[in-house]
């Protein structure tokens, strides 16, 4: 039983209060639906697969301080053998670049030599034949590198590799007809092609990228160890050994040769893959968390505001309520009066809020290169605010419905 | 009178504790959110070298050409050929190329592990250009640059660690297996954002602790620890091929005190690029940029989008909290219409009503500000959950931020109280008395 006409008449006498609640609802809708949309996008981004068996994987960034280039192959070999001997270690690989490491090597790739119109940027991981099994990457078709294919090169003498392994996404981009295996790919500006010998499933590039990019799993692995760069030892541990090895592995390395740098974890030194992932997606998770907190507090504040103003109106109108009750209005009539009042204000606010929300979204699109908010989120925000408004009105409205008819005879 | 109003205000605050608490919380939360966001924003958007922001210029020369460059913009960094040519001509008052290298201090004690510190290779001019303050000694000389002397300037923190803070000028340290003589120890120098190279390691790294002559770094074939970008990747094999390639990996900075100097230098760059074209190296018209620090930081998008986004969102949040407070204050003040009527009838002027209610608003603002301070502290502490540790370490609560928090809270509350107070002052004494 709605009482729209009298409600509207009464609202005209409380213009400012009405406007304030309406404005607050409008602004809250504008911010909340955009925030929810941002949260949704960031969470989707966060959930992208890394293509790595993330448990029981340890990464140790290692860099020599004054080793001669000629000795590096032997030094790396000794390190790997030492790490393999440690209890709890399943397998060890050496690699420059791994998924979500943060920063790495990117090259243009094409299926014809020096054809810039075709160039596709791909993340390049340089590693040995152990990288695939250690990362736990799934080979869909083809084969892994053989030990005899792995080269040791410094980055100023980088020739194109004879064989490469690429991700499914990259294979599809290069050869849309699905025939990538065994086909050539030109890496960088090389005139000699590399042969695709294996195709693996999804694998994240060297950074989490932005949530809009579509190229993040365009990854190419080549059987090369870059000896002039800071390599990483990737250690696949037996279950339950990860924490122990986090401490034991770097100490063991220092013990065989102290003239090396293993940076602190913040700079990519010794990190479990869980830490690598957490670091790569920190901005996304942080922004989603912050937006979530802001939404929650905003809704609470808005609810509190509605409770406050409605309580005031109820107190102000005790006498009128008493009169209505004396004239035969039921408790339910009074209750629904205030609920209707709030419903009308909310709907007005939500109409303005929808315009504001779209405007804010448009501004975010221009200023921050975001996507336009989906109407679903405006609708969701509107429903949440309507329910919130009704819930916030309920307590004062119940109090109003309990005003006795005898109040009509009392002075204020 | 002031004391009386204050007492009245306090009594009214106590009179309606729930409403008052709601307002205090709204203001406190709103102010804390915006102050937390601002504490990050002021760092990332700060001017790292205010005195010279308009006199230092980053040079860009398009050696990629229209086919490879980024939408007509020259690459951010420079190749070795161009950087060396500019250095040799030395048209600016001071100038330096620079790039980050990986060097480690190797302790003579065989039980100790090497120490890694962020290192830059640059020219002697850089110390004066960037206003780098010295604790002991000074930078190396121009002749050290020419002679590729193994000299080094170390940072204060590294000096503490290696020499326990003593004057170490003249001492030798071992960097990657070679002895370097210390010519100076710099005092605290930590420009944020790191304007001279926001590209390599990001604009918010730890303070640089080692500086060596670039000529020496080239001599030692030290590759950059930052980015290398090549238009054509297989530039040949080896270090010399890299030096002669079009790969960009150096930044070049010049100091040009006056606008006339800047004009002249721009012309010089234009001429240089034309000459390269005549020589057949560039196949396109001169395409150069000369950006001062402010323009450069803007161009490099040093302010992370997350930071400004959260600042704007929290300002919107504060606005909503204020709208909320206006509504609650209105309810609170108008409830006291009878009281106002009596006071007006007894001779209180509108002015006194204004004074009393605005003061009450200010009291709420102050309470909100105190709550806001606590919450801002909490917010700044939790910044590391959201932003990179590099940025989080810079966000601090200082006296300035505390004062600003209180000011914003009080100002916001008084602003919110304006309309409700106006309504309160409009209460007709006679009418109120009558309906009573």
Chain A residues with CB under 8 Å of B114 CB are 65, 258-261
Instruction: Please indicate whether, in this complex, the C-beta atoms of A294 and B238 are within 8 angstroms of each other.
Output: no
The pLDDT assigned to B435 comes to: 57
CA A297/CA A282 separation, integer angstroms: 22
Report in angstroms the alpha-carbon separations of B120 from A201, A368, B202, B285, B364: 40, 33, 14, 33, 52
Contact A105, A96 (CB under 8 A): yes
Contact B75, B63 (CB under 8 A): yes
Q: Is B365 helix (H, G, I), strand (E, B) or coil?
A: helix
Please check whether residue A365 touches B, CB under 8 A.
no
Tell me how crowded residue B374 is: count the other CB atoms within 10 A of its CB: 12
Task: Indicate if the pLDDT at residue A329 is higher than 90.
Answer: no
Beta bridge partners of A123: A106, A219
CA B219/CA B37 separation, integer angstroms: 46
Instruction: Please indicate whether, in this complex, the C-beta atoms of A289 and B385 are within 8 angstroms of each other.
Output: yes
CA B153/CA B162 separation, integer angstroms: 13
Q: Scanning the structure block, which residue is given the tokens 């008449």?
A: A9
Structure tokens, A133: 């099994």
The pLDDT assigned to A412 comes to: 47
CA A288/CA B290 separation, integer angstroms: 39
Burial of B190 (0-12, 13-18, 19+ CB in 10 A): middle
Q: Which pLDDT tens digit goes with each residue over B160-169? A: 999 999 999 9
| pTM given for the model | 0.84
In the 3-class helix/strand/coil scheme, how is chain B assigned residue by residue? CHHHHHHHHHHHHHHCHHHHHHHHHHHHHHHHHHHHHHHHHHHHCCCCCHHHCCCEEEEEECCCCCCCCECCECCCCECHHHHHHHHHHCCCCEEEEEEEEEEEECCCCCCCCCEEEEEEEECCHHHHHCCCCEEEECCCCHHHHHHCCCEEEEEHHHHHHHHCCCCCCCCEEEECCEEEEEEEEECCCCCCCCCCCCCCCCCCCCCCCEEEEHHHHHHCCCCECCCCECCCCCCCCCHHHHHHCCCECEEEEEECCCHHHHHHHHHHHHHHHHHHHHCCCCCCCCCEEEEEHHHHHHHCCCCCHHHHHHHHHHHHHHHHHHHHHHHHHHHHHHHCHHHHHHHHHCCCCHHHHHHHHHHHHHHHHHHHHHHHHHHHHHHHHCHHHHCCHHHHCCCCCCHHHHHHHHHHHHHHHHHHHHHHHHHHHCCCHHHHHHHC
- Radius of gyration from C-alpha coordinates of chain A: 32
Instruction: Please indicate whether, in this complex, the C-beta atoms of B326 and A20 are within 8 angstroms of each other.
Output: yes
Those residues with Cβ within 8 angstroms of residue A137's Cβ, 6 or more apart along the chain or in another chain: A51, A52, A200, A201, A203
CA A107/CA A155 separation, integer angstroms: 13
Parallel/antiparallel/unpaired status of strands A219-222 and B172-175:
unpaired
The pLDDT assigned to B431 comes to: 63
**CB proximity under 8 Å: B 299-328 to A:** 304-306, 308-310, 313-314, 316-317, 319-321, 323-324, 326-328
Q: Which residue of B has its CA nearest to A293?
A: B33
CA B304/CA A117 separation, integer angstroms: 31
Chain A residues with CB under 8 Å of B117 CB are none
Angle A244-A247-A251 (CA atoms, 0-180°, nearest 5)?
A: 130
CA B393/CA A255 separation, integer angstroms: 33
Please check whether residue B386 touches A, CB under 8 A.
yes
Those residues with Cβ within 8 angstroms of residue A154's Cβ, 6 or more apart along the chain or in another chain: A69, A226, A227, A228
Phi, then psi, of B176 in degrees rounded to 5: 50, 35
Low-confidence ranges of chain B (pLDDT < 50): none
Chain B residues with CB under 8 Å of A284 CB are none
CA B44/CA A270 separation, integer angstroms: 28
Contact B119, B176 (CB under 8 A): no
Helix A15-46 and helix A4-12, axial crossing angle in degrees, nearest 10: 110
Structure tokens, A248: 């034991």
Can you list the positions of beta strands (E) in B176-298? Answer: 178-186, 210-213, 251-255, 288-292
The alpha carbon of residue B430 is apart from the nearest alpha carbon of chain A, in Å, by 16
Tell me how crowded residue B101 is: count the other CB atoms within 10 A of its CB: 22
What mean pLDDT is predicted for residues A89-114?
Answer: 90
Instruction: Please indicate whether, in this complex, the C-beta atoms of B223 and A308 are within 8 angstroms of each other.
Output: no
Report in angstroms the alpha-carbon separations of B162 from B100, B159, B172, B185: 22, 5, 11, 12
What mean pLDDT is predicted for residues A352-381?
Answer: 90
Instruction: Please indicate whether, in this complex, the C-beta atoms of A290 and B386 are within 8 angstroms of each other.
Output: yes
Contact A310, A392 (CB under 8 A): yes
Contact B123, B87 (CB under 8 A): yes
Peptide bond into B193 cis (omega under 30): yes
Please check whether residue A195 touches B, CB under 8 A.
no
What mean pLDDT is predicted for residues A356-362?
Answer: 93
Contact A46, A285 (CB under 8 A): yes
Structure tokens, B151: 């000299």
The pLDDT assigned to B327 comes to: 87
Least Cα distance to B254 among B61, B407, B22 occurs for: B61
Residues in chain B, how many?
436
Chain B residues with CB under 8 Å of A228 CB are 223
Structure tokens, B47: 């001017």
The pLDDT assigned to B44 comes to: 86
CA B87/CA B252 separation, integer angstroms: 9
Torsion of CA A235, A239, A241, A242, to 10 degrees: 50
The alpha carbon of residue B346 is apart from the nearest alpha carbon of chain A, in Å, by 21
Q: Which residue of A has its CA nearest to B20?
A: A308
Contact A3, A340 (CB under 8 A): yes
Query: What is the predicted ipTM?
Result: 0.81
Tell me which range, A189-198, A221-230, A314-323, B176-185, is most confidently predicted by mean pLDDT.
Answer: B176-185
CA A48/CA A42 separation, integer angstroms: 10
CA A297/CA B29 separation, integer angstroms: 8
Q: Is A97 helix (H, G, I), strand (E, B) or coil?
A: coil
Task: Indicate if the pLDDT at residue A37 is higher than 60.
Answer: yes
Please check whether residue B201 touches A, CB under 8 A.
no
Those residues with Cβ within 8 angstroms of residue B272's Cβ, 6 or more apart along the chain or in another chain: B61, B82, B85, B86, B89, B286, B288
Structure tokens, A276: 């690598």
Q: Which pLDDT tens digit goes with each residue over A70-98? A: 888 899 999 999 999 999 999 999 999 89
Among positive and negative, which fits the CA dihedral B198, B200, B201, B205?
A: negative
Least confident of A7-16, A46-55, A222-231: A7-16
Least confident of A253-262, A376-385, B340-349, B424-433: B424-433
What mean pLDDT is predicted for residues A136-146?
Answer: 94
Please check whether residue B280 touches A, CB under 8 A.
no
What DSSP letter does each residue of A226-256 carry, written as one string? ESSS-EEEEEEEPTT-HHHHHHHHHHHHHHH
**CB proximity under 8 Å: A 370-399 to B:** none
Instruction: Please indicate whether, in this complex, the C-beta atoms of B116 and A261 are within 8 angstroms of each other.
Output: yes
Contact A143, A200 (CB under 8 A): no
What mean pLDDT is predicted for residues A154-177?
Answer: 91
Q: Which of A34, A156, A190 to mutate to test the interface with B (most CBs of B within 10 A)?
A: A156
Cβ-nearest to A27 among B176, B310, B323: B323
Structure tokens, A267: 């700079």
């Amino acid at each position: 039983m709605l009482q729209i006409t009298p409600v509207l008449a009464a609202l005209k006498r409380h213009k400012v209060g009405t406007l304030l609640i309406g404005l607050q609802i409008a602004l809250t809708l504008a911010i909340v639906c955009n925030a929810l949309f941002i949260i949704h996008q960031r969470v989707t981004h966060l959930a992208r697969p890394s293509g790595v068996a993330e448990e029981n994987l340890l990464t140790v960034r290692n860099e020599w301080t004054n080793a001669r280039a000629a000795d590096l192959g032997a030094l790396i070999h000794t390190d790997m053998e030492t790490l393999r001997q440690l209890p709890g270690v399943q397998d060890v690989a050496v690699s420059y670049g791994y998924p979500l490491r943060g920063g790495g090597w990117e090259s243009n790739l094409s299926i014809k030599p020096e054809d810039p119109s075709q160039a596709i940027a791909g993340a390049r991981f340089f590693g040995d034949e152990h990288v695939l099994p250690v990362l736990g990457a799934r080979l869909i078709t083809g084969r892994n590198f053989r030990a005899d294919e792995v080269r040791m090169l410094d980055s100023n003498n980088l020739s194109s590799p004879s064989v490469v392994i690429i991700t499914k996404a990259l294979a599809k981009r290069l050869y849309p007809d699905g025939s990538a295996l065994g086909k050539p790919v030109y890496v960088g500006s090389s005139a000699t092609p590399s042969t695709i010998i294996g195709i693996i499933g999804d694998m994240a590039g060297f950074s989490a990228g932005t949530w809009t990019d579509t190229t993040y799993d365009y990854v190419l692995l080549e059987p090369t160890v870059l000896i002039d760069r800071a390599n990483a030892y990737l250690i696949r541990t037996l279950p339950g050994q990860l924490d122990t090895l986090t401490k034991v592995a770097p100490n063991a390395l220092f013990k065989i040769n102290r003239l090396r740098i293993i940076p602190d974890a913040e700079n990519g030194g010794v990190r479990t893959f869980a830490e690598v992932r957490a670091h790569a997606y920190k901005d996304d998770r942080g922004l989603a968390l912050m937006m979530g907190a802001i939404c929650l507090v905003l809704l609470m504040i808005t609810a509190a505001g509605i409770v406050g103003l409605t309580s005031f109106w109820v107190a102000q109108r005790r006498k009128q309520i008493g009169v209505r009750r004396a004239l035969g209005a039921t408790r339910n009539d009074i209750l629904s009066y205030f609920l209707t009042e709030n419903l009308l204000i909310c709907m007005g606010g939500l109409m303005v809020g929808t315009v504001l929300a779209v405007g804010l979204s448009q501004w975010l699109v221009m200023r921050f290169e975001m996507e336009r908010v989906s109407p679903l989120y405006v609708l969701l925000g509107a429903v949440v605010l309507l329910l919130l408004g009704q819930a916030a009105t309920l307590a004062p409205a119940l109090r109003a419905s309990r005003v006795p008819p005898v109040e009509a005879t009392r002075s204020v | 009178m002031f004391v009386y109003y204050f007492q009245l205000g306090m009594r009214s605050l106590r009179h309606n504790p729930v409403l008052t608490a709601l307002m205090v919380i709204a203001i406190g939360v709103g102010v804390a959110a915006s102050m937390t966001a601002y504490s990050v924003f002021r760092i990332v958007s700060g001017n790292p070298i205010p005195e010279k922001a308009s006199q230092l210029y980053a040079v860009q020369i398009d050696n990629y050409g229209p086919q490879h460059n980024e939408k007509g913009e020259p690459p951010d960094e420079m190749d070795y050929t161009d950087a060396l040519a500019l250095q040799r001509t030395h048209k600016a008052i001071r100038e330096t190329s620079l790039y980050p290298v990986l060097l480690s201090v190797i302790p003579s004690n065989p039980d100790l592990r090497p120490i890694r510190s962020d290192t830059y290779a640059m020219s002697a001019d850089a110390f004066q250009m960037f206003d780098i303050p010295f604790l002991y000694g000074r930078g190396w000389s121009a002749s050290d640059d020419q002679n590729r002397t193994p000299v080094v300037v170390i940072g204060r923190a590294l000096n503490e660690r290696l020499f326990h803070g003593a004057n170490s000028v003249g001492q030798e340290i071992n960097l990657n297996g070679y002895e370097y003589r210390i010519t100076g120890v710099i005092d605290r120098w930590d420009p944020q954002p790191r304007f001279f190279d926001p590209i390599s390691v990001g604009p918010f790294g730890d303070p640089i602790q080692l500086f060596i002559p670039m000529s020496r770094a080239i001599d030692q074939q030290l590759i950059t620890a930052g980015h290398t970008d090549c238009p054509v990747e297989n530039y040949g094999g080896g270090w010399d091929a890299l030096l002669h390639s079009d790969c960009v990996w150096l930044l070049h900075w010049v100091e040009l005190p006056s606008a006339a100097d800047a004009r002249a230098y721009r012309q010089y760059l234009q001429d240089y690029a034309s000459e390269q074209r005549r020589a057949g190296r560039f196949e396109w018209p001169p395409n150069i940029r000369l950006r001062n620090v402010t323009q450069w930081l803007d161009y490099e998008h040093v302010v992370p989008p997350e930071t400004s986004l959260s600042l704007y969102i929290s300002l919107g949040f504060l606005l909503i909290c204020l709208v909320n407070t206006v509504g609650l204050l209105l309810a609170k003040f108008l409830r006291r219409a009878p009281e106002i009527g009596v006071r007006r009838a007894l001779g209180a002027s509108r002015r006194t009503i204004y004074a009393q209610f605005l003061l009450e608003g200010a009291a709420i603002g102050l309470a909100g500000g105190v709550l806001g301070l606590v919450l801002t502290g909490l917010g700044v502490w939790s910044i590391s959950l959201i932003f990179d540790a590099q940025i989080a370490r810079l966000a601090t609560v200082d006296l300035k931020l505390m004062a600003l928090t209180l000011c914003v809270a009080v100002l916001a509350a008084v602003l919110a109280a304006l309309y409700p107070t106006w309504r309160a002052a409009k209460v007709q004494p006679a009418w109120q008395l009558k309906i009573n």
